[in-house]
Amino acid sequence: MKLTSLTLHQIRLPLVSPFTTSFMKETEKDCYLVEARFDTGSGEVTGWGESVAMVGPLYSDEYTAGGIAVTRDWLAPALFNVEHLTAETVGWHLRHIIGHPMAKSALEMAVIEAQLKVQNLSFKDYLGGVVDQIPSGVSVGIQDSIPELLEAIGGYLDEGYARIKLKIKPGADIEPVAAVRREFGDDFLFQVDANAAYTLVDANHLKKLDDYGLLLIEQPLGEADIRQHAQLAKLMDTPMCLDESIVSAEAAADAISLGATSVINIKPGRVGGYIEAKRIHDLCRAHGVAVWHGGMVETGLGRAANAAMASLPGFTLPGDVSGSKRFFHEDITKEIVMHDGVVDVPRGPGFGVTIDPAQLEKFRVAEYTITP
């Protein structure tokens, strides 16, 4: 295939309720979708991708406007130069451009989708997925009060979510976790995510979380603190899980061999794409390290791709692939549904979902066309 043009559609989707983490309060999803057109030699094909970068550089150094700029100025020109572009070689063609994994992943997604449409192959079958449904967990933001927290979590448990993850930060950690266990008991899967809000000085405080039977604690320390996570892991009984720190398969290998992580959150956007994410899955599987699929508040497009990824055999823990309704009243694809604690893995060619042009137009705030 040869890439002939790209259109980046920046969209803003209102969230059903604010999503608060240790680093920001989000009230709308601001991202861009990639629409890539290719010449196959015997016709035209279009593929779609989604950038998981957030509106500001607060989770990692990427953000929506930066992703659009680096795609226009650097990534797209590099791909326009390639005569025979394949999904498997996108990362290779972009390797000389440092960083920007989320922007690269969005482009790789579009190439994957186009290639799979040509081959009439589902993403699950392309990856080698082994199940048709994946257990669905939900990520719960920091709430303004304990009663509101209990109401939110009670609602998700009633809906049937298979696992609850609660965001924590200094000042909102032990007390909410204790309140949730007091109200709902010990009989459900419960974990916490600090999004890098602590330092090793907080070790004795974080150790108090060991009393609550948590499945894991996700990314308590900074992105670059792999060695310090290893120290903290020795001090705590709660299993350590890294998210922000796992920026590549190499970082995953280092974190595993240093004892910094016993579980890994896999997010394709964070590591440059689904193909690198599968490498991390394979590496973890070979080392007996459990993985689960993270989320970045994706639209139906990214959510569908994540569900396919999470059907690989190493994903032995429920992930953050929730139903679309958890975040959005309306989406740009048909809704991804959580039922009976699971999400069905899409079966159609490509990611198995299509972009609804009317919905895209409704939520689009800007459009950029890039040609060679």
- Applying CB under 6 A, the residues found at the interface with ligand OSB are 59, 139, 193, 195, 243, 294-297, 320, 322
What element of type H or E holds 213?
Answer: none
276 binds, among Mg ion, ligand OSB, none (CB under 5 to 8 A by kind): none
Which one, 90 or 225, has the nearer CB to ligand OSB?
A: 225
Which one, 71 or 322, has the nearer CB to ligand OSB?
A: 322
Minimum CB–partner distance for residue 89 and ligand OSB (Å): 29
CB 209, CB 236: distance < 8 Å: yes
Does position 243 interact with Mg ion (CB under 5 A)? The reply is yes
Nearest residue to the partner ligand OSB, using Cβ: 295
Minimum CB–partner distance for residue 219 and Mg ion (Å): 5
19: Cα within 13 Å, side-chain hemisphere: 19
Q: Which positions ≥6 away from 178 have C-beta within 8 Å?
A: 211, 212
Which one, 10 or 245, has the nearer CB to ligand OSB?
A: 245
Minimum CB–partner distance for residue 117 and ligand OSB (Å): 26
Of the candidates 29, 117, 165, 167, the residue annotated as catalytic is 167
CB 342, CB 356: distance < 8 Å: no
Of the candidates 267, 278, 325, 362, the residue annotated as catalytic is 267
Task: Tell me the sheet residues that pair with 241.
Answer: 218, 263
Known catalytic membership, residue 325: no
Among 182, 141, 138, smallest CA distance to 157 is for 138
Kindly give the pairing relationship between strand 342-344 and strand 133-135. Answer: antiparallel
CB 115, CB 87: distance < 8 Å: yes
Which one, 5 or 133, has the nearer CB to ligand OSB?
A: 133
Minimum CB–partner distance for residue 42 and ligand OSB (Å): 38
14: Cα within 13 Å, side-chain hemisphere: 5
143 binds, among Mg ion, ligand OSB, none (CB under 5 to 8 A by kind): none
Task: Determine the distance from the C-alpha atom of residue 162 to the mean position of all C-alpha atoms in its chain, rounded to a whole number.
Answer: 18
Which one, 276 or 298, has the nearer CB to ligand OSB?
A: 298
Minimum CB–partner distance for residue 359 and ligand OSB (Å): 19
Does position 193 interact with Mg ion (CB under 5 A)? The reply is yes
What element of type H or E holds 112?
Answer: helix 101-119
Known catalytic membership, residue 208: no
Q: How far apart are CA 85 and CA 102, in angstroms?
A: 19
* Catalytic residue list: 167, 267
- Positions touching Mg ion (CB under 5 A) are 193, 218, 243
